[in-house]
Structures are given as structure tokens and as C-alpha cells.
Amino acid sequence: MRATPSPGIAMLILCAPDKFKQACSAGQAAEALAAGVRAAGAEARVLPLADGGEGTLEVLKAAFPTRKQVAARDALGRDVPTVIGVSADGKRAMVESAQACGLWRLDEHERNPLETDTHGVGQMFKAALELGVDEILLGLGGSATSDGGAGMCAALGAKFLDGNGAELLPTGGRLKDLRRVDFSALDPRLKTVQLQAMCDVMSPMLGPHGASRKYVVQKGGTTRAMHKLEEGLSIYAQCARNAGATADGLESGSGAAGGMGFGTLLLGGKLIEGARKVLELIGFESLLKGVDAVFTGEGSYDEQTADGKLIAALAHACKAARVPLVVLAGTTRPVSIEGVTAVFTISPHGGRLQDRLTETEAALTQHAASVTRLLAR
């Protein structure tokens, strides 16, 4: 249903959503929101966003305008084309892990975190090192993996050995056979760069709220797989400690992207909130000047949203600037995030999931128009 244009409203709305998984990109969602705002007679500004997962490099194209093509492996070991972003001065590179091991690359029947790995991310990382940059930003989120970043580390020289001293391919399911980790052959260039991982969530790798227990289902895993993954990741963490690592898998953010945050710590990197870093790089604080409200959204507004996701970062920034933040989401749960002014569910109850996904953009437009008129009253 198309929103009907209204007489002019003296308001400027910033349309700044994340992607709606399986439905539309952040750019498409932002344009849909803007269409509703304009139909209601207000002015709209489009600003698609991301939190470290897929689409982050596109959002940061101004900060990393140069693109370098890199051949890498996907989560199942197949060669796929990826790109690395490089800053204008050539000193910083951006690696978006989801380009290699993203869940979006796999068909439904291929999704199994016991069989996937992050080797392709290590290949992208190595390509970034070869550029001679001083700093690498690694975007973590949207992965099809739960290998604790072991595959990434292996591509950069780490060795993973079983009880017989044989090297193993460290997929999520094979980590339970791990008995020793050897970091002695890690790429020496890792010591010459500053590494920061932009985490889409700040969960730990291990424990009841860790990578395997909290996110295994959305990666195609089962309850049985969850227990195997947790066992393997625990063994992996202990082997890493035995090899001299200080990380233990309980650090905030170590569970991002199936534990790739933990792998980043093993490489000497630092974990940061991806969404806040994105907002910093685009100068979001200055973009809020003169704005009357911010409309944002994501597929599901739930407990994970408060765990470092984009909306949580937007809420922090909007609260500081005293700008209302309105969330329009596909599904919602009663979660309270300080700085969020209002939350609306755009999907009707009942009906087929595919129909709801297909109608996402139209629903965003319709609801954005309604909320704009409500704010203008």
C-alpha cells in the first residue's frame, strides 16, 4: 500500500537503518523509510548503516575509497571473489569477514557450523598485510562459522595439531580433536600493524551467553551441534593458553562472528564495538545537527540488539544529542534500551514468512509515513 503525500511538514528525519536479513539491504531499507517520510511531507536524509557485519565496507566507502580484489575461500572452502577497502592515504585497510565466511554465501541446506571455517578471512587478512598498511580494521558479524577464528589463524601461519601430532583443518566440529596449538610460524608482519576487530556483538566466546550457545541456531546448527561446538571451543581456548596466549574466551566481544573475536585476540588485536566505530568513522555526531528525529530498524529487535548492535550504538548517540530515535523492526520483543524513544513492529502477525520478507520495504514506507505524521502533531 502506497503512502499518500501530505502537505509539507517542517521536520528533517535521518533514515539510518541496518540491513533486514533475507529481506533488503541497509540501503534499500533507508530508501524505503525515506519514501514514507517524504510521503508524509517531511524532509528525509538517507544514511544506511552497519555494525561490522555484511555491508560494513560499503557503508564506510568514504573512509576506505580504494578497493582491492582478493580471491579467498568461503566458509566451505570454495573460492569466491572478495574486496578489501583501503584508505586514501594507503595507511589503513578494512577487511569485512562476511565477504569470505558470511552466512549469506551459503544456501539453507549448506549451513552447518560444525563443517565451516574462517580460513578465507585469513587469506583476506594476508592480502591486507601485503599492502604494507599500518592499521587493519576487521569487521566481524554475519558469519556462517563457529571455529573461534582458528581457520583465520591457520591461514596466517598458526598450526592446529591433534593427539597424534597431525595437522587438522580447524572447522567448528574438528576443534574437539585439537590437542596443541603452535603460534611460532605466525606471519611476522602481524607485529607491525595495529589490528582492531569491529564486533557486531560483545558476547564472550564461551559460556551460557557465548558464541555457540547463543547463535548456533541462526547458523544452521542444532542443540547437539551446540554442545559439540562449546566443547571444541573450550579445548581450543585451553590449547591456546598452553601455547602462551593470555585470552581465555570469556572476554567481551570474543564471541563475535562465531568466536572470530577470540581469534583476533590471539593475533594480538583489540576488540571494539563495531557499530560505535562505524558511527565514529562517518562522523555521525555531526550528522545529527539539525535533525528532528532518527528512524532506524533491523530484522529483529530483541535481546541481541542490546548486546552492541547498531541500534544500541545509535541510542547512545541520540540520547547524548537529545534527538528522538524511532525503531521500525520486522519483529520485536519487550527489550528496553536507554535512548530508544519508540519501537514499532512492521510485520503483521500471522501469514507466511516469505510474504512478510517480500513486503518489508513497503511496510517500512507505510510505517515511516505514519510515525512522521504522529511526530508532527
**241-292: per-residue pLDDT in tens?**
999 999 999 999 999 999 999 999 999 999 999 999 999 999 999 999 999 9
Tell me which residues of the chain have a pLDDT lower than 70. Answer: 1-7, 348-357
Q: Would you say 297 and 364 are in contact if contact means Cβ atoms under 8 Å apart? A: yes
CATH of domain 1-48+284-333+366-377: 3.40.50.10350
What are the boundaries of each domain within the chain? 1-48+284-333+366-377, 56-275
- Identify the CA nearest to 278 among candidates 326, 322, 310: 310
Rounded to whole angstroms, the Cα distance separating 336 from 251 reads 24
Burial group, residue 130, by CB count within 10 angstroms (0-12, 13-18, 19+): middle
d(CA 353, CA 133): 45
Q: Quick check: do 1-48+284-333+366-377 and 56-275 share a fold?
A: no
Give the Cα separation of 319 and 313 in Å (integer): 10
Can you give the pTM of this predicted structure? 0.90
Residue 143 contacts residue 102 (beta carbons within 8 Å): yes
Helix (H, G, I), strand (E, B) or coil at 23: coil
Residue 331 DSSP SS3: strand
pLDDT at 1: 38
How is domain 56-275 classified at the CATH fold level?
Answer: Glycerate kinase, domain 2 (3.90.1510)
Q: How does pLDDT run across 290-348, given as a tens digit for each residue?
A: 999 999 999 889 887 887 789 999 999 999 999 999 999 988 888 889 999 999 999 86
